[in-house]
Homo-oligomer: A and B are copies of this chain.
C-alpha cells in the first residue's frame, strides 16, 4: 500500500476528487494547509500597515491506495490539478505499513 499526499490549489479540489472517483478511488482525506514556495502571497494593507502573507492557502489530499494504483492516481492528480502557473503544488508518495477499517476491523487493502 502507498499513501499519496497531494498539495493542490484549493479550488481544484472538486475536480481532482471527481477524477479520482472516476478511476475508482472512493476514499480520501482532505486538510486545509498553508504553503510556502515559489508562489508569492497576496499583499494586504490595513491603515498604515502593509503585509505580504507569504503562506498561501493550499489543500492537502491524502489517499491510501494499493500499490498497483499509484501510477494511475498520480497521473490523474497531475492532469486535473494542473493549471500551469506557479503554485500548482506537489505530490508525495510514501510507503504505508498497514491500514485498518475501524468499523469492521478489516486490514490491508480490504480496509480501503
Contacts and interface: CB of A to CB of B under 8 A. Distances in A.
Interface of A: 2-3, 6-8, 17, 26-38, 54-55, 58, 60, 64, 74, 77-78, 81-103, 105, 111-112
Contacts of A88: 101-103
A82 B102 contact: yes
Given A27-B37, A36-B30, A97-B93, A6 B102 contact: yes
A2 B96 CA distance: 11
Q: How many copies does the complex hold?
A: 3
Nearest to A83: B103
Given A64-B90, A90-B100, 13 more contacts: A17-B36, A26-B38, A28-B37, A29-B33, A29-B58, A78-B100, A83-B103, A84-B103, A89-B103, A93-B98, A93-B99, A93-B100, A94-B95
